[in-house]
Amino acid sequence: MWCSWGVVDERAAVVQRRLRSVVLVAVSLVVGAGCSAGGGGVGAAGGRPEASVGAGSPRPSVSGVVAPAKGAVRVTGTLAGGLKSPWGVAVLPGGDLLVGERDSGRIVRVAAHGGKVTELGSVPGVEPGSEGGLLGLAVPASFGTDHQVYAYFTTASDNRIARMIYDERREPGNQLGAPNTVFKGIPRGRIHNGGRLAFGPDRMLYASTGDTGDKAPAQDKGSTAGKILRMTPDGEPAHGNPEADSVVYDYGHRNVEGLAWDGGTRLWASEFGENAWDELNLIEPGRNYGWPQVEGKRKGGSVPAGYADPVVVWKPADASPSGLAYARGSLWMASLRGERLWRIPLNGTRPVAAPQAFLTGAYGRLRTVVAAGDGALWLVTSNTDGRGTPRKGDDRILRLEVS
């Protein structure tokens, strides 16, 4: 969706100049171990994949907000390191993490205390390549009794969702049962496979899908590409979906890789734009989020009405967002090309201040952020994914104290 910076009213122009100035100050507030004021990341041209080229100064757009956010982030340590292309993360009862490696198809368990890494096994049928492979992980509220682990992954023919029984009594490396496919046929591509998987407060399973680099399916409600899907744990259309016989919850997305619910159980999604604007969207059932007709915020009457505007937009150089989490009254968005963690403080459905950037350039590309349950965050780097510059110890899981 297109942005609204081009206002000709003189007073509005003054406000916008002040906003840009304030945001520049906000993104310079980098707090935490090894923080720097630098930004940017390793890009790849062509098709605007996860880290593609896009110029622009830090200029997130928040309508009516002129004050920067206030808060702090402190990195209290590295929980685990040496992970290869980590992507999906699921929190187990008790706080331990399940982490999936995109390219190897391996799932490991990381102890929340001490960081011990135990291999569960690999998901059979994973076909890695570019942005495909083992992507999102999720566990249901019933995990304590059914021990089911859900995975979203790319195969040779499609993207699909399967569940496996995790049996801790078996030997490490052989603790995953055979996958039982609950939903298949999601279009796959070299880029834009979406892949975030999460159980909502309603205990339904949500999955984000990408447009696979082919724009048209995002507007086709008969396709599962470029959508957010909502289904029962068995993969059936969930009661209350816009269409009773469809898992499609909304449409018009390019590539959503972040899903999170706020304190009011409202669903938010972070989305890759193309060359103009990345987006944070408030998700409502049946809404059309505009891609490919609109990128960023709508501009006057230049496009047809009926598209949902994003709540916040960023230039791709400052974001290229992946994971999304909610903690302490704010959304937290991990950025790949932007190499920073964004905080968006909320009051209901509205930001109450301009987004604030942390850890800019300090740890490279940031893939996934997860609420730790005590107001803290787990933050997963993504420097071994083929587009980053690995550092000693990468990839790693960091623990963050936030306020």
Reference 200, options 244, 146, 261; nearest CA is 261
Handedness of CA 386, 387, 393, 396 (dihedral sign): negative
**Number of other CB atoms surrounding residue 143 within 10 Å:** 18
Alpha-carbon distance of 101 to 110, in angstroms, equals 13
**Number of other CB atoms surrounding residue 196 within 10 Å:** 27
Alpha-carbon distance of 147 to 152, in angstroms, equals 17
| Residue pair 382/322 in contact by the 8 Å Cβ criterion | yes
Q: What is the pTM of this model?
A: 0.86
pLDDT of residue 306: 87
Q: Which residues does residue 326 pair with via DSSP β-bridges, in sequence order?
A: 331
Per-residue model confidence as pLDDT tens for the chain (403 residues) = 333 333 233 333 333 434 433 333 333 333 333 333 333 333 333 344 564 333 333 446 554 555 767 789 999 999 999 999 999 999 999 999 999 999 999 999 999 999 999 999 999 999 999 999 999 999 999 999 999 999 999 999 999 999 999 999 999 999 999 999 999 999 999 999 999 999 999 999 999 999 999 999 999 999 999 999 999 999 999 999 999 999 999 999 999 999 999 999 999 999 999 999 999 999 999 999 999 999 998 766 555 678 999 999 999 999 999 999 999 999 999 999 999 999 999 999 999 999 999 999 999 999 999 999 888 999 999 999 999 999 999 999 999 999 9
| Residue pair 169/159 in contact by the 8 Å Cβ criterion | no
**Amino acid code (one letter) for 16:** Q
pLDDT of residue 69: 73
Tokens for 231? 């289904």
Domains of the chain and any CATH numbers = 10-402 (2.120.10.30)
| Residue pair 227/206 in contact by the 8 Å Cβ criterion | no
Tokens for 54? 């896009």
Reference 51, options 59, 39, 61, 62; nearest CA is 39
pLDDT of residue 356: 97
Residue written as token pair 């920073």: 340
Alpha-carbon distance of 371 to 373, in angstroms, equals 6
**Region of residue 78 (left: phi > 0; alpha: psi -120 to 50; beta: else):** beta
Reference 361, options 34, 23, 22; nearest CA is 34
pLDDT of residue 27: 35
Q: Is 193 exposed, middle or buried (0-12, 13-18, 19+ CB in 10 A)?
A: buried
pLDDT of residue 62: 54
**Amino acid code (one letter) for 33:** A
Residues with Cβ < 8 Å from 351, sequence gap 6 or more? 62, 65, 311, 312, 344, 345
